[in-house]
Structure 1
Amino acid sequence: MLVETVFRSDDVPAEDRFERWRELMNRSYAPMELRSDHAADFRVHQRLIALGTATVWPGEFQPLVFRRTPKLIRQSDPEVYQLTLVLKGSGRLVLGRQEATCDAYEFHSNDSSRPSETWTGQEQIKIVGVEFPKAQMPLPRGRADQAIGRRMSAREGIGALLAQFLIQLTSDTGQYAPDDAPRLGTVLTDLVAALFAHTLGTDSSLTPEAHRRTLTLRIQAFIQQHLHEPDLNPRSIATAHHISLSHLHRLFRDEDTTVTSWIRRQRLERARHNLADPALRTAPIHSIAARWGFTHQSDFSRAFRTAYGLPPNAYRHQATRPTA
């Protein structure tokens, strides 16, 4: 499981909540001023997830104002970029002379070295924040700085891919081992760099390694979205991404697998989850297999037994039987 620090306002006396949370924020991030009309009984639930040098912090809290002043910057500047995915609510950022609004399923970006002020809306806000050292950004510093404060969508393209990564990561950190943290941090910074580059209109400034990892993630997300299509195959995937078949195979060879094996594993995992779902107990096994692109039940049964050590019907019986 990844290392997490959790803060729940319900665990703290009402009169101490806001101050305790403010102290946590200032220890964990660049020092800032915080104020809220709800400070007397502040409601917040926040987690800090360490990913090597990067930090991800899903949180939900009441309306708030964040201020990073020139004086605070002179006192301490950790030299980090910050990116926030808004899942519920809205916000407004003033960065020098630059001003931007941010609604649900948009990103707003910030820089610890620049004075800023951020207001959340009048309702409870839910976000996933990201913070990592500027030195880790696989983009030239000048290019990355140009993307700060610009409006970025989380509904399509690279933004949607990054949002999907953050939501999946924060929804269940128990599926990852502590040793996965630095690797996940690298994937995260590559995706943020790709989003910045896309926002600026080019990805030519990405390092080759960051470009490769981002392209691989984009292809894997495409496969996940099309698993139900029986004719999904390496050639159709390569065509959809405007790359050669040999390039596609090289990308997956770098991941120590093949395209076909990766597709099969994802399909088997989806089918396994369906077989373990009590709500689908009466669904015929062949229909579940077909739902995930297996056109022949015998092929599905053989592949399932090889992967999980049991035939599909025995696995379903074991997974859905009542327990004491």
Structure 2
Amino acid sequence: MRNRMATGEVPENQRFEYWLDMICSIYVQLECDQPQESALFGEIEFSRIGGLDLTELRANVPRVRRTPLHVSRSGEDYCLVQLQQAGKGVVCQDGRIAVVSPGDFVLYDCTRPYELMFDDEEHHVMVLRLPRSHLEQHVTGLEELTATTVSGDGAAGHLLLSMVSTLRKQADRLHPASAQGVSDAITQMIAAGLRSLPQANSRRPSSLHAYHLTRIKAYVKERLRDPGLSVASVAQAAGLSPDHLARLFRGEPLPLSRLIWQWRLEACHRDLVDPRLASRSVSDIAFSWGFNEAAHFSRSFKEQYGLTPREWRQQAVTVQNPA
């Protein structure tokens, strides 16, 4: 079923808040700028088709942003695919800038910040929202394919636009039993367009993936003593969603939560045998590295090293000062 919402349905002094609430509920949490030289105008038609949402949007909002704060505060794990209908759009994400002309499409990932800009007084786009996991079944390395224009002159871009345009007109007539098949076909066509991009054929590991891992590990090391350090706090600081953080560490020996625990145990293991810290208690050392429960720390230490913290310390003293 197709639904329509428009700013003309509310008084002019309420339109900006109404529009912002509308796009946040339909897409993901966002912020946007008001037009400077004319009254705000916006209308959206939206339909649910199988596993994806299709929207058609006309508006004169010049800029839209999803900030690191929006990402860290929400668990929205979607990809958005923007098909430009009229006016030019600019999509910025992952250090790339894509200019999108009518007929082109572009991908952006809601698990990371992005910015959209429109240089015409009124723009017209169709937007597909689908779970990231659905698209990952058909194409890998999505983080290297965001903010990159897929030309409408290519076969995949042209076919996708044709399919979506037809679907928009026929959405109300689509039998529920057919909806998922149509949704799958559109997802596969999006993937085909993305696979046509030059970087999709690169065998190199994702530089963005490596960059995120490096900066996240550096952040954790700097704040290892902070008892409030957690997966959630790291995600917020990095401007990434917790789900994206989990995916980054999927190929690592330890998930992030376990890595924090492991590094803290290693730091305590080292400090307990440091002669300069001999006057400090076991609990004091444990708490200084972010642990907040002595008994739990002692059990974890023994599981890791085969000795309690006190036994490890005493063994080191015996070695350093033999009788």
Q: TM-score normalized by structure 1?
A: 0.58
Distance 1:51 1:30 in 2: 18
Letter aligned with residue 89 of structure 1: G
SS of equivalent residue, structure 1 residue 81: strand
Post-superposition shift, 1:108? 1.9
How far apart, CA to CA, are the structure 2 residues paired with 1:138 and 1:112? Answer: 14
Secondary structure of the residue aligned to 1:137 is: helix
C-alpha change, 1:21 and 1:192, in structure 2 (3 Å) is same
User: Highest relative contact order (Cα 8 Å, sep 6+), 1 or 2?
Assistant: 2
Query: Pairwise mapping of residues 36-185 of structure 1 onto structure 2 (< 5 A)?
Result: 36-37=34-35, 41-139=39-137, 142-185=140-183
Q: Secondary structure at the match of 1:71?
A: helix
The 5 Å alignment of 1:236-251 reads none
What amino acid is the match of 1:16? Q
User: Contact (CA 8 Å) 1:18, 1:41: kept in 2 or not?
Assistant: no
Q: CA deviation at 1:139?
A: 4.0
Give me the whole-angstrom Cα distance separating, in 1, the residues matched to 2:37 and 2:186.
33
Preserved CA contact (<8 Å) 1:85 1:154: no
Identity over aligned pairs, percent: 18
Structure 1 equivalent of residue 14 of structure 2: 16
1:157-236 to 2 correspondence within 5 Å?
Answer: 157-200=155-198
2:290 is matched with which residue?
Answer: none
For 2:202 and 2:115, locate their aligned partners in 1 and report how far apart those are by CA, in whole Å: 32
- TM-superposed CA distance for 1:50, in Å, is 0.5
Query: Aligned partners of 1:52, 1:37: CA distance in 2, in Å?
Result: 35
Q: Deviations over 1:224-283 (max 9, x none)?
A: xxxxxxxxxxxxxxxxxxxxxxxxxxxxxxxxxxxxxxxxxxxxxxxxxxxxxxxxxxxx
Distance 2:44 2:129 in 1: 15
Deviation at 1:38, TM superposition (A): 5.2
Distance 1:40 1:14, change over 3 A: farther
The letter for the 2-side match of 1:128 is M
User: Aligned-pair distance for 1:141?
Assistant: 6.4
Structure 2 counterpart of 1:15, one-letter code: N
Q: Secondary structure at the match of 1:148?
A: coil
1:163 and 1:126 map into 2 onto residues whose CA distance is 13
Q: Which runs of 5+ in 2 are unaligned?
A: 204-323
The AA in structure 2 aligned to 1:69 is T
Do the aligned partners of 2:94 and 2:147 also contact (CA within 8 Å) in 1? no
**Residue number in structure 1 paired with 2:249:** none
Distance 1:65 1:125 in 2: 11
RMSD, aligned α-carbons:
2.4
Question: How far apart are the structure 1 equivalents of 2:201 and 2:135?
Answer: 13
Shift of 1:102: 1.4
Q: Equivalent residue of 1:57, what SS?
A: strand
| Partner SS for 2:196 | helix
8 Å contact from structure 1 (residues 38, 62) kept in 2: no
Change (3 A) 1:81 1:200: farther
Unaligned runs of 5+ in 1: 206-324
Q: Deviations over 1:119-169 (max 9, x none)?
A: 111321011101100111154664233211112111331110001001111
Deviation, 1:66, is 0.8
Q: Judge conservation of contact 1:54–1:131 (CA < 8 Å) in 2.
A: yes
Cα distance in 1, alignment partners of residues 75 and 39 from structure 2 = 30
- In 2, Cα distance between equivalents of 1:150 and 1:64: 20
Instruction: Give the 3 Å change call, closer, same or farther, for CA 159–134 of structure 1 in structure 2.
Output: same
CA contact (8 A) 1:139 1:193 kept: no
Letter in 1 for 2:111: S
3-state secondary structure, aligned to 1:123: coil
Residue type at the aligned position of 2:80: Q
Taking the aligned partners of 1:40 and 1:12, their CA distance within structure 2 comes to 17
Structure ID, larger Rg: 2
CA contact (8 A) 1:110 1:149 kept: yes
TM-score, length-scaled by structure 2? 0.58
With over 3 angstroms needed to count, the CA separation of the structure-2 counterparts of 1:65 and 1:187, relative to structure 1, is same
| Partner Cα separation in structure 2 for residue 53 and residue 143 of structure 1 | 21
Aligned residue for 2:80, secondary structure, equals strand
Shift, 1:190, TM fit: 1.1
